[in-house]
A and B are shown apart, each in its own frame.
Chain A
Amino acid sequence: FNGGWQTSLRSPVLGDMVTLFTFCAEVEDTLKRIQGINGVIGTIVVNAEGIPIKTTLDNSTTVQYAGLLHQLTMKARSTVRDIDPQNDLTFLRIRSKKHEIMVSTDKEYLLIVIQNPAE
C-alpha cells in the first residue's frame, strides 16, 4: 500500500465552483486501471448533488449521464430503503442492447462506468 496523499485543485467539468480534492493514490490507480480496460467506454465520478467531478467523456455526454443516472439512483435507493430502512443500495446495473451502465453508489459519491461487455 502506498501511503501517499495527493492534493490537487481541479475544476469540474461543469459548474462555476472550484473544488479542492484529495484523492488517494490508490483510488487514482484503480480508476486508471478501470479506464484502461478494453471495452470500457467511459467513467464518471459524481458527487452527492449530482454534479460530475471527474470524467473521461465529453462535456455534454457527461452532463446527461450524470443528471439522469443521479435521479435514477436516488429513486432506486429510495425504493430499497423504503422496504427496509436498514438496507442501502450498493450498485445498479443497466444492461442495454449496446452497452452496460454500471453505477456504484455510496453516501457521498456515485461512480458510473459504461462498458461494452465482451460477448
Chain B
Amino acid sequence: MSVPHKVGSVKSKQVSSFVMQDEEEGLDTAEGEEWMQGKTLVKPPDQLDLTEAELNEEITRVLKASNPNAPQNVVRYSFKEGCYKPIVFVDQMAIHFELEGNLVHKDSDEGRRLMAKQAEVDDGGGDERPDNVSIKAGKREQKLTNQFNFNERASQTLNNAPRDISCQTEPPPRANFSATANQWEIYDFYVEELQRRVKSKEKHEGQFLNKEEDKSKKKMIQAETQNDDIYQLAKVVKIIERMVNQNIFDDVAQDFMYFEDASDEFRGEKGTLLPLWTFQYDKAKSLSVTALCWNHKYNDLFAVGLGSHEFTQQGGGMLLFYTLKNPSYPEFIFNTASGVMCLDIHEHLSYLVAVGLYDGCVAVYNLKKKTDQPIYNSRASSGKHTSAVMQVKWQKDDLDSNHNFISVSADGRVVSWTLVKHELVFTDIIKLPVIDTIPDDLKDVIPTVGTSLDFHKQKDYSFLVGTEHGKIHKGSKYYSSKFLEKYDAHFMNVTRVRWNPFHPDVFISCGWDWMVKIWDQTMKSPVFTFELKTSVTDVAWAPYSSTVFAAVTTDGKVHVFDLNINKYEALCQQKVVSKKTKLFNIEFNPVHPIIIVGDDRGHVTSLKLSPNLRKKPKEKKGQDLPKGPEVEIAKMEQLLSSLR
C-alpha cells in the first residue's frame, strides 16, 4: 500500500489545486499562504522586541562537543579519605532517544536455536499429514512415547486423612524477678565477691583436712553464723537502750554538754558542782563503793569496785563498768568472791583491769572475753597477800613485754605481779618498815598496813606509799632494801597519796586526821595544809591544771581547791549526797569537766564542775596563751617559791 506523503499530496494539489481547494482549505491555505506570501513575517506574540541595532548584532555561537546539561560539580564521598571529592570526568553523552531492540545475532546460541525452529515450522508446513507425527516425534526429544506400545496408566492412592499433630511442652517455670541496681548494691556484691575469693584461696591452702574435720567445721560455721546474727541483734538492742535512756535523761545530757553556770560570774571566786547522773545497780545495794577508775581510751567508761570497808561486814564484791551513755544499767558486771578494795585500768590496753580484793587476792580481768571469771587470779599462787590489797597500779611492760602491775596490801608488802602466759608471777619489791613503837619480837608478826600507793608520772621507778600510821614512804623500784625518804604526814591513817600530774616534785596526801597536805618531795614539812571538818577519804588532782584538786569527806561533802586563786580555802564545799552517806572515792574525768564520787550506798554520782573551778590563769593582753604542762609546772613553781 502506498503511504501518502506530503510531496505526493502537494503534487496532486498542484494539479488540482483549484478544484480541491475547498476540501483541504485549512492546510492548503496555510501552505498556500506561506508559499504565496513568502515574504510577510508573522510574529509570535511572545517574541522579544529588539531594535535594528540589536537585531544586527552578531552573536557568536560556538559548538562544543560537551554536554551543556551535564553536571559540572559532581562530588562523591570517598571512604578512603573520609570526605567528599569532586569528580572531574563527567559523562558528556546526552541520550536523546533509546529503544530496546529484539534483534539477535544469527551466530549466537539463541539465534541458532530460533533459526532451527523456524526451519521446522517451514518444513512442517509443506508435508503430508501422517508423516508429520513421525517427524514431529523424531524432532521432539522430550517424551519417548509411541502410539502403539505406549500406555499411560494412572492410579490414585488412598490419601491418608490429614491429621494435625501438635505437641505442647510444659512452659518453663517462670518467676517474677524484680530488683534494684543501686550503687550500693553493686558495691555490696563486689565486697562479697572479694570475700568469697579470699575464702576460696584459704580453702585451697588448707585442703589437707580430714572429712571429719570438715564436718565439724561446717557445724562450727553454722553456729557461728547464728552467733553472729544474735550478736548483731545484741548490738542493735544496746543502741536502742542508749537511745531510750538519752530520751529519759535528755535534760541531764544537755546539761552535761552545754550547761555553764552563768551565776559564777557573780560569785567571785566560788564555784559549784552541778549534779548529773546517778549510777546505781540493784544488786549492789548492800555494798559500798571502794574504788573508781576512768578508762583512758573511752572517756565515757568508768569502773566501779564494790565491797566493804568495814572489817565486820565482809561479803561478796562486784566490779561494774558504767558508761555515761547509759546511766541506768552497767555495761559489764563481774561478781567477785570477796569485796573489791582497789582497781586499776591499764593505760594503753584499756580492756585489762587489775583488781585487788579484801581477801588478799589480785585478779586481772579481760573485758574483751565474755566470761565472768578473771583471766588471772592469784588465789592459788604462793606469793599472794595475806591481807587486804589496798592499791594496785599497772606498770609499763617489762623487758619481755609482759604486762605487770604492783600492789600494796595490809600485810605491809609491795609486790610486783607479772602476767606470764597463764599465771601471775610475783616479785617482792619492798616491805614496809615497821614503826618503832612495836616491840622487836613482834616486828615480824605485826605488819605495817600500807594504804595507798602512787607512782611518779615521769620517773616511774619512784613511788610513794602511805601507811596506816600516817607516814608516807618514798621508795624506788630499784632499791629493795629500804625506802629513800620518809615523811611524817598524818596522825592517823593516810587514805590517799598522789603525785601531781604536772610538777615532778609535788604530791598530795590526805588522811583520817581531817587534813589534806601538799608536799614538795625535797622538803620534810608540807607546803600547804588544809583542815576539812571530817575524815578525808580521798583526794585527786585535776588533769587540766596543776593547782586544782578535790577532796571528799565522810560527811558527804566535796571540797574543790584551786591554789592559784585561793591558797587558804576551798572554792567549793558542797554536800552532794543525802545525809549520813559517806563519800569514799573521787575521780576526775580526763577529758570532760566532770567528777565522779562513790559513796557507801553503792551509788556513784557524777557532777559537773562550774567554770570558776576550771579557770586557766589570765595572761596579759597581747600575749599568746601558752599551753601545755610547762605552764602548769611554772604555776606550781611560782606558788612554791613564794613559800620557801
Number of residue pairs A-B, CB distance < 8 angstroms: 101
Q: How far is B318's CA from A25's CA once the two chains are assembled, in angstroms?
A: 20
By the criterion CB–CB under 8 Å, are B184 and A81 in contact? yes
Binds A, one of B243-251, B435-443, B564-572: B243-251
Give the segment of B38-46, B140-148, B233-241, B606-614 that binds chain A.
B233-241
Cβ-defined contact, B371 with A34, below 8 A: no
Partner of A115, one of B180, B236, B244: B244
- Would you list which residues of chain A between 99 and 119 have a CB under 8 Å from chain B? 100, 102, 104-109, 111, 113, 115, 117-118
Give the most central of B233, B235, B329, B370: most A CB within 10 Å: B233
Residues of chain A with a CB closer than 8 A to B180's CB? 78
- The winner among B183, B244, B370 for most chain A CB atoms within 10 A is B244
In the complex, B119 has a CB within 8 A of chain A: no
Within 8 Å of chain A (Cβ to Cβ): is B630? no
Supposing A85-B188, A106-B235 touch, asked if A78 and B230 sit within 8 A by C-beta, the answer is no
Q: Are B232 and A108 in contact (CB under 8 A)?
A: yes
Contact A34 B241, CB 8 Å, known A2-B372, A81-B183: yes
Partner of A1, one of B233, B239, B243, B372: B372
Residues of B within 8 A of A85 (CB): 183-184, 186-188
B245 cross-chain contacts in A, Cβ below 8 A: 37
Query: Which one, A8-16, A55-63, A64-72, A86-94, is touching chain B?
Result: A86-94
B286 beta carbon closer than 8 Å to chain A: no
For residue B186, which residue of chain A has the nearest CB?
A85
- Given contacts A3-B370, A34-B240, A85-B184, whether A39 and B233 have CB atoms under 8 Å apart is no
Asked if A93 and B243 make an inter-chain contact with CB atoms under 8 angstroms apart, the answer reads yes
In the complex the two chains form, is B247's CB within 8 Å of A100's CB? Answer: yes
Contact present for B244 and A104 (CB under 8 Å): no
Q: How large is the interface on B (under 10, 10 to 19, 20 to 34, 35 or more residues)?
A: 20 to 34
A26 CB contacts on chain B under 8 angstroms: 234
| Residue among B180, B247, B329, B333 having the largest count of chain A Cβ atoms under 10 Å | B247
Looking across the interface, which residue of chain B has its beta carbon closest to that of A113? B240
| A96 interface contact, C-beta 8 A | no
Query: With A24-B230, A30-B237, A109-B232 as given contacts, are A91 and B243 in contact (CB-CB < 8 Å)?
Result: yes
Cβ of A27 within 8 Å of any chain B Cβ, yes or no, is yes
CB of B182 within 8 Å of the partner chain: yes
- Which of A3, A45, A86, A102 has a CB less than 8 Å from the CB of B187? A86
- Asked if B122 is at the interface (CB within 8 A of a chain A CB), the reply is no
CA distance A3 to B231 in the complex (A): 12
Given contacts A24-B230, A34-B244, A100-B247, 5 further A-B contacts (CB under 8 A): A33-B328, A37-B244, A81-B187, A86-B187, A118-B247
Q: Which B residues are within 8 Å of any A CB, using their own CB?
A: 180, 182-184, 186-188, 226, 229-241, 243-245, 247-248, 250, 328-329, 332-333, 370-372
Can you spell out 27 A-B residue pairs with CB atoms less than 8 angstroms apart? A1-B370, A2-B372, A22-B230, A24-B230, A24-B231, A30-B237, A30-B238, A30-B241, A34-B237, A37-B328, A38-B248, A39-B247, A40-B244, A78-B180, A81-B187, A82-B182, A82-B183, A85-B184, A91-B239, A104-B239, A104-B240, A105-B236, A106-B232, A109-B233, A111-B236, A117-B248, A118-B247
Leading 6 A-B pairs by shortest Cβ distance = A81-B184, A85-B187, A85-B184, A1-B370, A117-B247, A104-B240
